[in-house]
């Protein structure tokens, strides 16, 4: 019987980090079903969900990964994954949008509330803040699952927020 596991790592960000982990997993004939990585400051956070092939154990993966010099100064966890791997309709990305402009406190809360009010599920999201030429700039990206009949009203509400806050708004339907 196959076993689904989740690998989670947080530690110093460095070139080749994902390559070392994913090539190791490829050599073990592991097929990655979901992966998310983000670099925050000097750190990287990585989450990988996958099913182990026959003959490969969770303990073996954990031992080997913890033995990699590239991962030695971070925190690594390998745990059973007990959630359904199959994606339902609420995890299928139907729309992607980006908001960019001045860093405005409460922006993520306002957008999240608007999405919730329109029945949208946030599948993936990231927000980055950095120093621009004249001010601190924020770029927030959302990948959401939104029912087709609710999309026009939801997107119009997001556009209203972007206009009120003088943000650039860009979206695409997938």
- The DSSP symbol for 91 reads G
CA–CA separation, 107 vs 22, rounded Å?
A: 34
- Do the domains at 3-80 and 89-173 have one common CATH topology? yes
pLDDT in tens, the chain (174 residues): 578 899 999 999 988 899 999 999 999 998 888 888 888 878 999 999 988 999 999 999 999 999 999 899 999 999 999 876 555 566 789 999 999 999 899 999 999 999 999 999 999 899 888 887 888 889 999 999 999 999 999 999 999 999 999 999 999 998
Spell out the domain ranges in the chain. Answer: 3-80, 89-173
Task: Give the H or E element holding residue 157.
Answer: helix 151-164
Taking alpha carbons only, the member of 43, 81, 42, 45 closest to residue 61 is 81
Q: What kind of architecture, by CATH, is found in domain 89-173?
A: 2-Layer Sandwich (3.30)
For residue 37 the two structure tokens come to 């990585």
Q: Are 74 and 8 in contact (CB under 8 A)?
A: no
Stated pTM of the model: 0.72
């Amino acid at each position: 019987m196959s076993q689904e596991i989740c690998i989670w790592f947080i530690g110093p960000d460095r070139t080749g980090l994902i390559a070392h982990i994913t090539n190791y997993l490829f050599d073990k004939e592991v097929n990655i079903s979901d992966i998310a990585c983000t670099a925050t400051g000097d750190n990287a956070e990585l989450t990988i969900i996958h099913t182990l092939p026959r003959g490969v154990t969770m303990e073996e993966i954990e031992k080997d990964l913890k033995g990699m010099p590239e991962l030695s100064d971070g925190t690594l966890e390998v745990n059973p994954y007990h959630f359904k791997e199959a994606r339902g309709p609420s995890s299928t990305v139907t729309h992607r949008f980006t908001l960019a402009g001045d860093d405005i406190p409460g922006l993520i809360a306002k957008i999240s509330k608007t999405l919730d009010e329109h029945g949208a599920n946030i599948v993936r999201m990231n927000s980055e803040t950095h120093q621009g030429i004249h001010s601190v700039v924020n770029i927030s990206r959302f990948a959401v699952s939104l029912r087709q009949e609710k999309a026009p009203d939801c997107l119009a509400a997001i556009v209203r927020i972007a206009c009120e806050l003088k943000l650039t708004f860009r979206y695409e339907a997938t």
